[in-house]
Structure 1
Amino acid sequence: MSDEFHVDLDHLDQLVARLSGLAGFLRDHLAELERKVADLDAGSWDGIAAAAYTDAHRQWATAASEFVDGVSDMSDAAKRAHGHYTEAMTLNLNMLRGK
């Protein structure tokens, strides 16, 4: 195993920020979409097509919400990884210095 292991903490920070930003962006846009759909549902559209749309939209919205949660979870995991790598680097440096 001659390959060195390297973690770019700055890049990991960027990843955390981008994933967090993406999750926020998606949440905001999904909330806006839900407001527009609520306006549509509150209108005079009814019948089989309206019911089918409402059901399909509900399924889609659930899946979209799960996707956003997954992006947020990835951001949280990357943030935890950053903390663990930082702690490991500190411990390794302390061991090398005899502390």
Structure 2
Amino acid sequence: MTDQYRVDLAHLDAVTAKVAALNSFVTDSLTELDQRIATVQSTWNGAAADAHATAHAEWVAAAARMTEGLDKMRAAAAAAHASYESGTAANLAMLGRSGQVAQ
């Protein structure tokens, strides 16, 4: 077999950082949105306000699941990086090349 399996750890780190940044952006945006909605809901009443509050609560729950998913993706990418890095180190040690970076 002539194909080589490679993992670009720098790219994996970049993807991990982007997922973390996206999750942070989404979380911050949701916090800001919740503050604005709370202001509106404090002075709004009636059937439309109740329907909006119900819909908003469902939307917040869905958004929370999304941020949880993003955090799981980030954690999985970070764990993959650690696994690949330790696997590379173990392989290099078996070859007597400890301390060298695999290309």
User: TM-score range, shorter-chain basis?
Assistant: over 0.9
Q: Report the equivalent of 1:11.
A: 11
**What amino acid maps onto 1:76 in structure 2?**
A
Matches within 5 A, 1:1-99: 1-43=1-43, 45-97=44-96
TM-score, length-normalised on structure 1?
Answer: 0.93
**Post-superposition shift, 1:98?**
7.8
Deviations 1:14-60 (A, max 9, x none): 011100011011100000000001001111x2111111110001001
In structure 1, the gaps of 5 or more residues are none
Look up the SS of the partner of 2:6 in the other structure.
coil
Question: Structure 2: any 5+ residue segments left out of the alignment?
Answer: 99-103
Alpha-carbon offset, residue 3 of structure 1: 2.3
SS at match of 2:65: helix
CA RMSD of aligned residues (A): 1.4
TM-score when scaled to structure 2? 0.90
Identity of aligned residues (%): 38
Letter in 1 for 2:95: L
Number of equivalences = 98
